[in-house]
Structures are given as C-alpha cells and as structure tokens.
Structure 1
Amino acid sequence: MGNRVGVVGAGYVGLTTGACLAHLGHHVTCVDNDRSKVDSYAEGEIGIAEPGLGDLVREGLAEERLGFTTRLAALDKSDVVVLCLPTPMGRDGTADLGSVEAVLRELGSVVPPGCVLVTKSTVPVGTAARLPALLGRDDVPVVSNPEFLREGHTVSDFLAPGRILIGSAPEFRDAATRVAGLYAGLDAPVLHTTAESAELAKYASNAFLAIKLSYVNTLAELCERVGADIGEVTHTMGLDDRIGTAFLTPGPGWGGSCLPKDTSELLGLAEAAGVDLPLVRDAVRVNSRQSAAMVRKIRIAATGTADGSLAGARVGLLGLTFKAGTDDLRNSPALGIAAELAHQRAVLTAHDPAVSRGPDWLTTTADPYRVAEDADVVVVLTEWPQFRDLDWAAIAATTRRPVVVDTRNLLNDRILAGTGIRRIGVGS
C-alpha cells in the first residue's frame, strides 16, 4: 500500500509530482487555491502542454489514487506533504516565499504528528531549517527534495530522473529515508545530503546552465566577427565528454520561470555570504544584452541598415514561448524581443503552436503563413521543429522582403535551398 501524500500547489511541478506519485502507487491529494483549476483537473482536463501528463492525471482519477481540492484541511491524514509552491523573484532579486509562508501558517494546524514536510519548490538555502518554526511544530520533520524537471519533459524527467536528491538535518535522516521510498521502483541514484547542500545544488545547477548558454551566445558573436561558424565550433566542443552537447546552441537569450530567478537568488546568497560570483554575474549581463543583439539583426534585415527605423515595418514572428514544447510565456526571450520591436513601432504578427492569444499589443494567428504576408522580415524566435516543415517558398512569395532572421539556428541551407528566401542566423 502506498503512502498518503499531499501535494500543495498544482502548477507544472505540483501537478506532475501528484500525477507521477499516484502512478507509482501512492494515494495523492493535490491542493490548490484556484477553484477553476481544481475543477478542471478533477475532470481530467489539465490545460498544460506537457506530453503524457493528461494521461497520468486521468489514470490517477480513474484508479482513485489522485484527487484535487482547495482545502488544506484535506491533508490531515497525510504521511507526507510536498510543497510545490511558486517562489518568484521579488523586487530585490531574491526569492519571494510569501506563498510558502502563508501555506505554512495554515498547514501547522492540519498535518498529523510525524508527517514529513517536503520542499520540492526551489527555495533559498536555509529554508528547510526555518520551516519547523514557520510551521509552529517540532514534531514534523522537514526534508528538501528539489525538482529537476524541464518544462515540456516533466513526466519523463520525473519517472526517469538523472538523480533523486534528498537533503535533511541529521535528526531527520529517517524522514529522508521515507521520502526516498516515494520513488521506489525508479532506476536512478538517490543522493542523501544536508538540506543546505540540496537547496544550493538546485541553484548551482541552473546557474551553471545559464553560464553555458551565455558562453555559447558570446562565442556566436565572436564567430560572426572572425568568420567562424558556431555550429562547427560547438559540434567540435560537444564531442569532448567533459563538455557534452547540451546547452551549446546559441539563441535569443535564456529565460523561463527558473534560470532568471535562480541566478538572481544565487547572486544574492553569495553577496550576503561575502563571496563573489563573477561568472554568474557576467552570464546575467551577457543575457541582458542578447535581446538587443537580435533586434539589431532584425532591423538590418527589415531596413537594410543598422540604424534604420522599424516604425511601420511589418515583422512576422514564429514562436513566442521561451522554448519549444511548452506554452509558457514567463520571461520568454521571444516575447521580450517582440516587446522591443513593438516599442520601436514595428507592426507585428505572431504565430506559436502552443499560444492561442498573446499580449494585447501583439496580433496572433493560428496560421503560420499569415505572419509572412507583406512582411519586411520573418523571425524565428522559438525552436518549434514544425517550423522546419513550413513551405518556405510560399512564405518567400508572400513577403515584401524574402528574408528570415533565424535566432535559433533552426533552419539550414538544405531547407531553404531554391525557396528564394535569405537566412540570417546566429554565429555564422
């Protein structure tokens, strides 16, 4: 018989955690304060673009191992409660734990003695040590179990993880073993650390990925200056198993719900501890200028000069989400570039396979070919693979200027050969 697990927060991480733990045989109750979301999930309608997640939710509902409610009181018989709450970046750049603290104030009077409280949300180092006091209980052990889920791959990442990280204070080691038991049956190494190490490892991992992405974007700029090709350079680098191929693709900058806030939190933590992290700071600085570099490419393509005016220029945008495989627009570099183009009074039409409606200042269409109508430039902003399969000859025929700025290096000469369209990529 599985554990009785409560999951607080039913966003990307919480819903995936609840559905996957139910799939592993546990009895899971997901709590969220959004009534409409809870009602939809209870009907098996998830509205999140995550492959396989809807099927797991419906499986859990059908087998009565998964339920949804708005009531924290429903967790009063839980063996384990997992916090999957948002920890957005606050105005000072550090993580805002307002949602976590609000839930703990209520949860303290709900959970039974011995229930294990698990932080799966990305939280500042030292949070696990603070939670018993915030909870107002000394009979509820706290364990850190950070998530390493990529949007668009959350189910596969949960059920086939590279590692399962569990951190706890020495006095909570038995509770940590109980948390490890939630994942019984998964083929992955289980790492037991202190809570502080587990919390820092999540920030350190994301900051390293941000550094790698900013590094390759800077290399791409260097390639353009010296006549090298970034694809050839990164292919060579990736064959070294000390480096690997992941996160070596240049683009319009990194974004999403994790990397921006996690790098900011890590920098704040380091500053408070008297440690300088120039690599992380420079990665953030490089990323902040990447949008301007892409807008400059678009301006040259649309007007013919680096200082030409974009006022009235028609720009077709392919992609709005921060990466392919998700419908998430949070901190999307694509949307940031679109906003700057709008600020410069360009006339924008956008298509994204996962976005039916964007901001009010942006015209969106379900037809990717409409973005090219009378366009001065077409811009690929998100690496949706289906964009490769578009009829690029038809796109070229309807544009005012047959040119595409490919900020993701998604296209190539073979795809565009004979179409009459000119491609401007990144790093070549």
Structure 2
Amino acid sequence: MRIAVIGTGYVGLVSGACFSEFGTETTCVDLDQTKIERLKKGEIPIYEPGLEDLVAKNAKAGRLNFTTEIASAVAGASAVFIAVGTPSRRGDGHADLSYVYAAAKDIARNLTGYTVIVTKSTVPVGTAREIERIVRAERPDADFDVCSNPEFLREGAAITDFMRPDRVVIGCESDRAREVMRQLYRPLYLIETPIVFTTLEASELIKYAANAFLATKITFINEIADLCEKVGADVHDVARGIGLDGRIGRKFLHAGPGYGGSCFPKDTIALVRTAEEHNSPVRIVAAVVEINDKRKRQMAERIIDAGGGDLTGKTVGILGVTFKPNTDDMRDAPSLDIIPALLKAGARVKAYDPVGMHEAEKLLPGVEWVEDAYKAVENADVAAILTEWNEFRALQLPRVAEIMNRPVLVDLRNVYNLADMAQAGFEYHSIGRPAVLPDARLATSDGKIVELKARA
C-alpha cells in the first residue's frame, strides 16, 4: 500500500514518518521547496524527540520520501492525507480552511484509480462534505471516498501517541474506505488499540470536543488554584483529592498560567464559533476561552507584584518561553503575553529556553537571550519559571539565591516544594499555594500568615 501526506508541518511530518514505520510506502508533499530539500537531507524543521531518527531510518529504507510534486505523490496512492494548517481566521476566530480546500483541488486533479481522501488536519464539522463536493466538481469521473481521521498528538510525545494511541477515530461511509483505513492501521489492531469507526460529522466533532474538554479541565483547576490561595489550601492536595476519583482522572489538573500551543486556543474558539452558527452555544467552552485569555495577562501582574509593584529599571529573569516542555512551539505560549507586559512595565528581561529561543526571538523583541538558566537569573530582581523544562526542576538553589539581586522566584508551574524554597532563603510565589515569605513563613493572598511547618 502506498499513501501520500499533503503538508509537512507538525501533524503531516509525524504522521508520515509513523506510517512509514508501520511499513507503508509514504510520500510527504509540501509546496515549500526549501523545507523539502532540508527534509531530504535529514534536517527536521521542528523539535520533536525521536523524530529525526525516525525520519532518517525510514528514508534510508526507502519507505519515506519527500517531494513538491503532488501529481506523482497522489497518482496511484491508496489514500491521501490532508495535513495542512488550519489556523484561526482573522476577525471571527473560525478555522481557516483555505489550505484544506486548495489541497482538495490539487488532489482531485491528480487522482488515478480508487483513492481515499483523508482529513488529518483539525477541521470543523462539515469540512469532509465540502471536500467531497469540491473533488466531485473538479473531477466528476473520479473514484474516491472522503474520510475523517483526526490526530491526537501531544507535542513532545507525538511518536508515542501515534504508535500507541488511546484510540484511533475514523469517520467514513463506505466499506471500501473502511477496509483501506483498517489496513493502514493494522499494526495497531495487533496491540488491541480501540478503533472507533463513526460518521464524518461525529469524527470531526470528537476532535474539537476532546480538546475543549481538556482545556476546560485546565481552566477549572486554575480557578480552583486562585481560590486555594485565598483560603490557605494547597492546589496540589485538591487536585490529587479529586483526580483519584475515576470519574474525573488526574491528568490535566495541573495549575499554571493557562493553556497555549497549536491546538487548544484555536480549537476552543473554532468550536464556539461552530456552535454559534448552528444556534447551539457551548457556553462552558466560551467561558473557558475568556478566562484563559485573561489568565495569561494576570500572570504578568503576579511577577510585577513580586518585584515590588514597579519594575522600572529592574531585571526580570525568565526561565522557559515555549508553551510546554519538549517542544520549540511558541504558538499562543503564555510568554507571548507575559513578557511584553513586563517590558511595558519598564523591566529589563533576560530569558533562557533550552530549545525555543530561536523561534522566540522573532516574536519577542527587546528580550536579552542568554545561554543558560543561571545567566538568566544573574543580577535579577525577580525570576519567573514559565515553562517546566526538566533542567529547571533541579536548579542549584543556593547558587541562584546568591547571584540574584534579591532571591525572589515566581514559579508559574509549581516546580518546587515550599519548604525547600524557604530553606534556601527565597521569597517564593507559586500557583494555588501560599507564598513563602523571606522569614520562612507562608502567606495566603488575602494576607493570612501561616507557619511553614504547618503547611509544608
């Protein structure tokens, strides 16, 4: 079996590499000549652990190829996956489907024999039907079916998610299409992965509903964290206490600065807009979008307050700028709201990220980029952890305290233990937990003082 994947962004490149690892002859197509030439040389344009080796292995075996020529890739393919970008459309927040529909036209012109056209991109309900209409109008003689096969890849763990997924969702309507998709995913049948066959519309909605639910869990625990700070509770205790309930689950109950990345922000907005169009508003999701946007801006205020309320002429050290660890993705990262607010407040900002600085420097002018975490906090009046990279979990705290002007740390990811920070002499502010004061006591956000031994 031979397939084509249109688009070599995050989803397309990972999917293409993983299908080739399954033994399927795969051709990845992109209009960007420079990107294709880099991929042919083994240069990976995104940071994803394990992807470089996987691409190199399958390219060497002849199972994975890259081209700008869509005609040769599509002709004779059993399935063609559309994996192009669907960013939020300016003005109304709807998913921009222009790249999807352009790909559909290109595929239609080059079809030979029966082909399954599969949407891998995240698309609103009704997109598969529109693709079918476009292809039929372009090529009335074509023999094809359209399927929906949404991706559920976490950046930083995408290969594992593809190879050992919780489930595979496939929306299609013909037995021929189902059989092609079964063959493609046959290696996952062997490890008893649930394969969910459903309608086109249900498949498209499953992707948005899943991301919206996870975004809601994040937003819920963030609001509970704010309440914890007011009443003197520890959000870690609350999250564990509710997460052990099998009906709730422990995942995505980690308080922080709000969700970001390539999926949750655009997908929640797109779901809200789709629901509005069908006169069936999803009010919970709309509230999640609003709360999350505000939260990122509120995080900047926390850092400003920790710096004494006025950052004019002061130095802020930033640790981590990507939206999550193990990726260089800066899309909708909290840092894109937080750092400009600090600069506007008059701060000098020094920042370090293990892999994200090349992307970040294009988006965050005015920041001084340094080569390691200690350079970022050296002579800083306040430091802040924005991304929970592993190397930030084991900083030499006495060294950090010594090289800072004042040992003040705002930890937006709750990396450290309260007692450890008190012992190291820090003023420590985290999310959903009392602040550690310089005299090793804890304080709730309403000013209540609590002895450390009673809370640590």
Tell me the equivalent position of 1:299.
Answer: 304
- Cα offsets for 1:35-63 (capped at 9, x unmatched): 22111111222142212111110111111
- Cα offsets for 1:184-207 (capped at 9, x unmatched): 121211110000000000000000
Residue number among 45, 62, 65 corresponding to 1:64 in the alignment: 62
Q: Residue 106 of structure 1: CA displacement?
A: 2.0
Tell me the equivalent position of 2:126.
Answer: 126
User: Residue 84 in 1 paired to residue 88 in 2?
Assistant: no
Residue number among 37, 41, 59 corresponding to 1:39 in the alignment: 37
Tell me the equivalent position of 1:144.
Answer: 148
Q: Given that residues 379 and 405 in structure 2 are in contact (C-alpha distance below 8 angstroms), is that contact kept between their aligned partners in structure 1? A: yes
Q: Residue 293 of structure 1: CA displacement?
A: 2.3
Q: Residue 343 of structure 1: CA displacement?
A: 2.2
Q: Residue 281 of structure 1: CA displacement?
A: 1.0
Q: Given that residues 166 and 180 in structure 1 are in contact (C-alpha distance below 8 angstroms), is that contact kept between their aligned partners in structure 2? A: no
Tell me the equivalent position of 2:445.
Answer: none
Q: Given that residues 257 and 330 in structure 1 are in contact (C-alpha distance below 8 angstroms), is that contact kept between their aligned partners in structure 2? A: yes
User: Residue 320 in 1 paired to residue 318 in 2?
Assistant: no
The two structures, once aligned, show a CA RMSD in angstroms of: 1.3
Q: Given that residues 302 and 401 in structure 1 are in contact (C-alpha distance below 8 angstroms), is that contact kept between their aligned partners in structure 2? A: no
Q: Given that residues 239 and 245 in structure 1 are in contact (C-alpha distance below 8 angstroms), is that contact kept between their aligned partners in structure 2? A: yes
Q: Given that residues 123 and 199 in structure 1 are in contact (C-alpha distance below 8 angstroms), is that contact kept between their aligned partners in structure 2? A: yes
Q: Given that residues 393 and 418 in structure 1 are in contact (C-alpha distance below 8 angstroms), is that contact kept between their aligned partners in structure 2? A: no
User: Residue 110 in 1 paired to residue 110 in 2?
Assistant: yes
Q: Given that residues 322 and 334 in structure 1 are in contact (C-alpha distance below 8 angstroms), is that contact kept between their aligned partners in structure 2? A: yes
Q: Given that residues 327 and 356 in structure 2 are in contact (C-alpha distance below 8 angstroms), is that contact kept between their aligned partners in structure 1? A: no
In the alignment, the residues of structure 2 paired with residue 130 and residue 301 of structure 1 have an alpha-carbon distance, to the nearest angstrom, of: 52
**Local SS of the residue matching 1:81:** strand
Q: Return structure 1 stretches of 4+ with deviation > 6 angstroms.
A: none
**Local SS of the residue matching 1:266:** helix
**Local SS of the residue matching 1:185:** helix
Q: Residue 249 of structure 1: CA displacement?
A: 0.4
Tell me the equivalent position of 1:239.
Answer: 244
Q: Given that residues 356 and 365 in structure 1 are in contact (C-alpha distance below 8 angstroms), is that contact kept between their aligned partners in structure 2? A: no
In the alignment, the residues of structure 1 paired with residue 175 and residue 50 of structure 2 have an alpha-carbon distance, to the nearest angstrom, of: 33
Tell me the equivalent position of 1:178.
Answer: 180
In the alignment, the residues of structure 2 paired with residue 344 and residue 173 of structure 1 have an alpha-carbon distance, to the nearest angstrom, of: 61
Q: Residue 416 of structure 1: CA displacement?
A: 3.2
In the alignment, the residues of structure 2 paired with residue 413 and residue 211 of structure 1 have an alpha-carbon distance, to the nearest angstrom, of: 27
**Local SS of the residue matching 2:392:** helix
In the alignment, the residues of structure 2 paired with residue 345 and residue 86 of structure 1 have an alpha-carbon distance, to the nearest angstrom, of: 37
Code of the aligned partner of 2:77: S
In the alignment, the residues of structure 2 paired with residue 4 and residue 150 of structure 1 have an alpha-carbon distance, to the nearest angstrom, of: 26
In the alignment, the residues of structure 2 paired with residue 173 and residue 223 of structure 1 have an alpha-carbon distance, to the nearest angstrom, of: 53
Q: Given that residues 86 and 97 in structure 2 are in contact (C-alpha distance below 8 angstroms), is that contact kept between their aligned partners in structure 1? A: yes
Residue number among 6, 16, 23 corresponding to 2:14 in the alignment: 16
**Local SS of the residue matching 1:270:** helix
Worse-matched range after superposition: 122-131 or 350-359: 350-359
Tell me the equivalent position of 1:159.
Answer: 163
TM-score, normalised via structure 1 length: 0.95
In the alignment, the residues of structure 1 paired with residue 69 and residue 397 of structure 2 have an alpha-carbon distance, to the nearest angstrom, of: 52
In the alignment, the residues of structure 2 paired with residue 335 and residue 152 of structure 1 have an alpha-carbon distance, to the nearest angstrom, of: 20
Q: Given that residues 388 and 415 in structure 1 are in contact (C-alpha distance below 8 angstroms), is that contact kept between their aligned partners in structure 2? A: no
Code of the aligned partner of 2:335: A
In the alignment, the residues of structure 1 paired with residue 225 and residue 166 of structure 2 have an alpha-carbon distance, to the nearest angstrom, of: 29
Worse-matched range after superposition: 413-422 or 278-287: 413-422
Code of the aligned partner of 2:321: L
In the alignment, the residues of structure 1 paired with residue 268 and residue 177 of structure 2 have an alpha-carbon distance, to the nearest angstrom, of: 30
Q: Given that residues 76 and 113 in structure 2 are in contact (C-alpha distance below 8 angstroms), is that contact kept between their aligned partners in structure 1? A: no
**Local SS of the residue matching 1:389:** coil
In the alignment, the residues of structure 1 paired with residue 294 and residue 71 of structure 2 have an alpha-carbon distance, to the nearest angstrom, of: 48
Q: Residue 349 of structure 1: CA displacement?
A: 0.6
In the alignment, the residues of structure 1 paired with residue 238 and residue 398 of structure 2 have an alpha-carbon distance, to the nearest angstrom, of: 30
Code of the aligned partner of 1:100: V
Q: Residue 414 of structure 1: CA displacement?
A: 5.4
User: Residue 376 in 1 paired to residue 381 in 2?
Assistant: yes
Q: Given that residues 297 and 337 in structure 2 are in contact (C-alpha distance below 8 angstroms), is that contact kept between their aligned partners in structure 1? A: no
Code of the aligned partner of 2:184: L
User: Residue 413 in 1 paired to residue 418 in 2?
Assistant: yes
Tell me the equivalent position of 1:100.
Answer: 100
In the alignment, the residues of structure 2 paired with residue 24 and residue 281 of structure 1 have an alpha-carbon distance, to the nearest angstrom, of: 40
Q: Given that residues 93 and 266 in structure 2 are in contact (C-alpha distance below 8 angstroms), is that contact kept between their aligned partners in structure 1? A: yes
Tell me the equivalent position of 2:218.
Answer: 213
Q: Residue 413 of structure 1: CA displacement?
A: 3.2
Q: What is the number of equivalent residue pairs in this alignment?
A: 420
Q: Residue 417 of structure 1: CA displacement?
A: 5.3
Q: Residue 255 of structure 1: CA displacement?
A: 0.8
- Cα offsets for 1:365-403 (capped at 9, x unmatched): 121111112211000000112101121211111111101
Code of the aligned partner of 1:184: R
Unpaired segments of 5 or more residues in structure 2?
434-456
Residue number among 291, 294, 302 corresponding to 1:289 in the alignment: 294
Q: Residue 134 of structure 1: CA displacement?
A: 1.5
Q: Given that residues 125 and 204 in structure 2 are in contact (C-alpha distance below 8 angstroms), is that contact kept between their aligned partners in structure 1? A: yes
Worse-matched range after superposition: 189-198 or 128-137: 128-137
**Local SS of the residue matching 2:203:** helix
